């Protein structure tokens, strides 16, 4: 899976596939194809195509803004994780079949027990 923070055509230049392509190291054609597929999937026109130029529709502008908000939230979450203490901050709950519980719990708890001194 690619890193959403390192390359996203919508984040760089939604109205200029060539710039988005250069920023993300894919071809302008690939960017255009992905945008066309997104339009088909959402049944929403995102771009106004006139000759060789494109402009975002109102829906395209909204999607670009929403995408930027999501990517900003991901970046903030990543930064919080990097600056965290790495210590447990709350309860951990998990579920499994009873037959797997004993060996799974024993293996999972050992590093935690060693780090907390319990």
Q: Over the stretch 65-101, which tens digit does the pLDDT of each residue have?
A: 998 999 999 999 888 888 876 676 778 777 766 666 6
* Residue 15: per-residue pLDDT: 58
* Residue 77: per-residue pLDDT: 87
* Residue 80: per-residue pLDDT: 83
What is residue 86's three-state secondary structure? coil
* pTM for this prediction: 0.54
How far does Cα 40 stand from its chain's mean position?
A: 21
How many residues can be counted in the chain?
Answer: 118
- For the CA atoms of 115, 80, 12, 39, the dihedral, rounded to the nearest 10 degrees, stands at 80
Q: Which two tokens stand for residue 27?
A: 């071809």
Give dist(CA 82, CA 76) in Å, integer.
10
Q: Which residues pair with 50 in a beta bridge?
A: 53
* Residue 44: per-residue pLDDT: 95
């Amino acid at each position: 899976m690619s890193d959403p923070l390192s390359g996203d055509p919508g984040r760089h230049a939604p109205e200029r596939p060539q710039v988005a392509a250069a920023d993300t190291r894919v071809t302008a054609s690939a960017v255009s194809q992905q945008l066309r597929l997104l339009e088909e999937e959402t049944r929403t026109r995102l771009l106004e195509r006139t000759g060789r130029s494109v402009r975002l529709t109102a829906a395209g502008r909204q999607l670009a803004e929403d995408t930027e908000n999501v990517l900003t939230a991901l970046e903030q979450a990543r930064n919080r994780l990097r600056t965290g203490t790495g210590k447990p901050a709350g309860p951990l709950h998990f579920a499994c079949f009873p037959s797997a519980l004993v060996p799974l719990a024993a293996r999972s708890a050992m590093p935690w027990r060693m780090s907390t001194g319990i």
